[in-house]
Amino acid sequence: MRKNIVAGNWKMNKTLQEGIALAKEVNELLAGEQPACDVIICTPFIHLASVVPLVDPTKIGVGAENCADKESGAYTGEVSAAMVASTGAKYVILGHSERRAYYHETVDMLTEKVKLALANGLTPIFCVGEVLQEREAGKQNEVVATQLASVLALSPADFSKVILAYEPVWAIGTGKTATPQQAQEMHAFIRGVIAGYYDEDVADNCSILYGGSCKPSNARELFANPDVDGGLIGGAALKAADFKGIIDAFK
C-alpha cells in the first residue's frame, strides 16, 4: 500500500559526532508520539552503524545516500549495498541529481545499483528530476520518463518495493520550491508512466515523494496534493525542529 513518508537526506553534512547528536534529537522529538507518516533519515555511510541503534526502529528508518554499482571487490573507496545493509540500514537513496550531475551516474549504472540494493534487502529511494533548462524547454516529462527506466526494468514485485522521489533540480537547495501544482502535475505524470508500464494498481501503490526546498512552511500545501506522498528533505533535515515540522504536516 502507498505510504506517506518524510525522508531526510543529510548529504555531505555533519561529522560523526554531530550526526549522532542530530539523530538523537530527532528521536527525542518523536519519542512521545506516533508520527502520522513513515520517517526515514539518510546519512553519510560512516554514520550508519552509529545512528541505527540510536533511533526507535518502530518510528525511524535509517538509510544511506548511495551505494556501489558493483557487488564487491577491487573498487577502492566504494561502499556496497551489502555493506550498507550490514549496518542495519533499510533504505538507500539512488539517482540523486547531485550524483547524476557531479559523479556522472548513468541510467545503466543506476539500474545496477537498484538491483543490488533490492538483492540486499534495501528499499531504494529513487530520485528523478529535470534541470531548469529542460523545464524551460518543456522537456521535463521526457527527461523524467527516461530517468525512470532504471526502475521500470524491474519485475512488478520488485518495483513495489521502490520509493520514488521527484526532485526538480532547479528547486534543490535554491529556496525555490516547485508550486504545489507543478509538483502534482509531475507526480501524476509519473504515476501515469508507471500505470502504463505495469498497471493502475502498481501505480496507485507507489509512494512518490517531492524534494526541493521543502520546509515546514510549505510542506502541508505540497503534501495535500493527491499524488504527493511526502517529501525528501535536504537542508531542512539538518535541523531537528524543522524536520519535525515537516513530519507534522501529515497531522
Residue showing the smallest CB distance to ligand PGA in the complex: 234
CB 100 → ligand PGA: shortest distance, Å? 12
The question of whether 187 is a catalytic residue gets the answer: no
- Which of 19, 61, 230, 235 is in the footprint of ligand PGA by CB under 6 A? 235
Site for ligand PGA in 154-173 (CB under 6 A): 167, 172-173
Among 234, 240, 243, 247, binds ligand PGA (CB under 6 A): 234
Nearer to ligand PGA, 127 or 148 (CB): 127
For residue 177, the 8-state DSSP code is P
Grid coordinates given for 249: 504536516
Q: Which CB, 95 or 234, lies closer to ligand PGA?
A: 234
The site map against ligand PGA for 190-229 (x = CB under 6 A) is ---------------------xxxx---------------
State which residue, 198 or 250, has the beta carbon closest to ligand PGA. Answer: 250
Residues 58-87 interacting with ligand PGA (rule: CB under 6 A)? none
Distance (Å, whole) CA 245 – CA 224:
15
Distance CA 118, CA 87 (A): 16
Distances (CA, A) of 110 to 24, 95, 154, 174, 217: 32, 6, 12, 25, 33
- Residue 184 sits in the site that holds ligand PGA (CB under 6 A): no
14, 131, 245 from 223: Cα distances, Å = 28, 22, 13
Catalytic residue among 96, 105, 134, 187: 96
Query: In angstroms, what is the minimal distance from the CB of 201 to ligand PGA?
Result: 28
232 lines the binding site for ligand PGA (CB under 6 A): yes
Phi, psi dihedrals of residue 156, rounded to the nearest 5°: -55, -35
Residue 193 makes CB contacts below 8 A (sequence gap 6+) with: 144, 145, 148, 152
Return the number of the residue (19 or 212) whose C-beta is nearest ligand PGA: 212
Q: Out of 5, 183, 233, 246, name the contact with ligand PGA by CB under 6 A.
A: 233
Choice between 212 and 230, CB closer to ligand PGA:
212
The closest alpha carbon to 83, from 60, 67, 99, belongs to 67
Q: What is the closest distance, in whole angstroms, from the C-beta atom of residue 141 to ligand PGA in the complex?
A: 20
Amino acid at 24: K
- Is 167 one of the catalytic residues? yes
Q: Which residues contact 65 (CB under 8 A, 6 or more apart)?
A: 9, 10, 11, 42, 43, 44, 45, 92, 93, 96
How do strand 38-42 and strand 5-9 relate by DSSP bridges?
A: parallel
Interface with ligand PGA (CB under 6 A): 9, 167, 172-173, 211-214, 232-236
Residues catalogued as catalytic: 96, 167
